[in-house]
Amino acid sequence: MRIVIFILSVCFFYCGCNRSEEYDFRGKVPESRLVIYAYAEADSLLYAEISKSRTYTDNTELDSTSNIRCQVYVNDLYSGELRPIGNNRYLSDIRPKVGDKITIKVSCTGLEDATGSTIVCSPFPEIELDTSRNWNMLQLRIGMKDQGDTENYYRLVVENETFYRGSFRRNGHVKIDSSITYTYDVDLSGDELLSKEIVSTIWGKEINTNPYQVFTNKTFRGKKQILQASITYPYSYERNAWAIENKDTIRFVEKEYHRLRVKILRMDKPLFDYLYTLGLHEKQPDMYKEPIQVYSNVEGGLGVVGSCFTREIIMDFRAKSQK
C-alpha cells in the first residue's frame, strides 16, 4: 500500500501541520485520522497543533464543537492537559527537562485515538555569527560546534521579522497603519553542506529539495562547522511623505525596521525525518516521480511529536531618518 500525505500548511515554530489530505493509491479511501504536530523543548512550554486529515468523503475540519482531549505524560506519568488557545493550537504549563520522555495522547469523538512520544533534546554549544555586506546582499557565516555524538540532527532557520508603522492626519484625526511580517528566504548556494540538496529541473530551474534546511553531523562529527548563507539586505528607513487629497496636503510618516533571527536547532530523529520527507514532497522537481510518504511517529494518526533545542542570535536593523 502506498500512501501519500499532503501537508498543506506548515507553521515552525517554525513548522506545523494544520490540514492534511490522505490518498490510498490502491483505490480505497481511508478514514479521517487525527493529525498531531507537537514539539518539546527543555524548560519551555509544551506546544501542539491538532487537526484531522481530509479525505474524498470527509472534507470537514475540527472546530470548537469537537470534543478533543489532549493528555500529557512525562516519563509515563500523567502530568496534565494541553489547553486550546485558538486555531487548532494547544499549550500546556508543563515545562519538560532534558532527557524527559514526553507522551501526548489525543482523543476526539468519532476518530481513533492518536499517541506520539519524544525524548527532550539536550543543549549544544552557543553559535557564532559573522556578517558582511556585498551590494544589496547580507552575507552570513554561522559557526556551530558539534558535540561528537554518534548522530546529531540540526536545522538552520534565518527569520527576517519586519516591523512597519505608518501614520497620517486627516480631518483632525491621526490614523495608524502597522504590521509585522515574517520571511524566511535565504540563499544557500554558497554553502558546501546545504547546497547539495539544490537540483536543476529539465527546464533549468533550481529547486531546493530540502526547504526546511535540515542536516546531520555526518561530515563534521565532533568538529566545528561554518554554514554560509545570504539574504537580501534588510534595509530599514524612516521618512516623511506628502500627498494632495481634495486640495488638502496630507503628511504621511512611515517607518520600517527589521529584526534578523539566525537559529540553529538541534532536533531528535523523528522531527528531522518529518521535515526532510515533507520538504521532499513539497519540492519534487519531477511530477512523474514516485509518491513520497511523509514520515510520522504518531500511532493511530498522522504527524509528529518531536523535540528540539534552539540556539539563536538576534540582529536589529534600525531605521534611519530620511528627509
180 within a domain of the structure (yes/no): yes
CB neighbour burial string for 3-21, b if at least 16 within 10 angstroms, e if fewer: eebbbeebebbbbbbbbbe
Same domain, 194 and 108: no
Residue that terminates a domain, selected from 100, 119, 138: 119
**CA separation for the pair 61, 300 (Å, rounded):** 18
- The answer to whether residue 292 is domain-embedded is no
CA distance 192 to 215: 12
* Residue 253 within any structural domain of the chain: yes
Do 107 and 240 reside in the same domain of the chain?
no
Same domain, 164 and 73: no
Identify whether residues 180 and 86 lie together within a single domain.
no
Q: Can you tell me whether residue 195 is helix, strand or coil?
A: helix
* Nine cell digits for residue 23: 490518498
Q: Which residues partner with 308 through β-bridges?
A: 267
Q: Containing domain of residue 238, as a range?
A: 128-267+310-322
DSSP structure class, residue 41: -
Phi, psi for 281 (deg, rounded to 5)? -65, -45
**Same domain flag for 146 and 163:** yes
Domain assignment of residue 314, yes or no: yes
**Gyration radius from the chain CA atoms:** 23
Nearest to 268 by CA among 106, 42, 51: 42
What CATH code is carried by the domain that includes residue 79? Answer: 2.60.40
The tally of domains found in the chain comes to 2
Looking up cell 492626519, which residue turns up? 169
Q: Are residues 111 and 166 in the same domain?
A: no
**Contact at 8 Å (CB) between 275 and 286?**
no
In a domain, 151, yes or no: yes
C-beta of residue 229 within 8 angstroms of C-beta of residue 140 = yes
Question: Strand 321-322 relative to strand 302-317: parallel, antiparallel, unpaired?
Answer: unpaired
What whole-number distance in Å separates Cα of residue 35 and Cα of residue 32?
A: 9
Map residue 122 onto helix, strand or coil. Answer: coil
Q: Are residues 92 and 160 in the same domain?
A: no
User: Model pTM?
Assistant: 0.83
Q: Indicate whether 314 and 175 sit together in one domain.
A: yes
Round to whole Å and give the CA distance between 205 and 285: 9
Residue 252 is placed in which grid cell? 504621511
- Listed residues 86, 119, 152: the one ending a domain: 119
Alpha carbon dihedral 63, 65, 66, 72, in 10-degree steps, equals 90
Residues 180 and 59 in one domain: no
pLDDT in tens, the chain (323 residues): 333 333 333 344 444 444 565 555 566 667 889 999 999 999 999 999 999 987 777 777 777 657 899 999 999 999 999 999 988 899 999 999 999 999 999 999 889 999 999 999 999 999 999 999 998 999 999 999 999 877 999 999 999 999 998 887 666 677 788 899 999 999 998 888 888 766 555 555 666 778 899 999 999 999 999 999 999 999 998 888 766 666 666 777 888 999 999 999 999 999 999 999 998 888 775 555 667 788 999 999 999 999 999 999 999 998 765 55
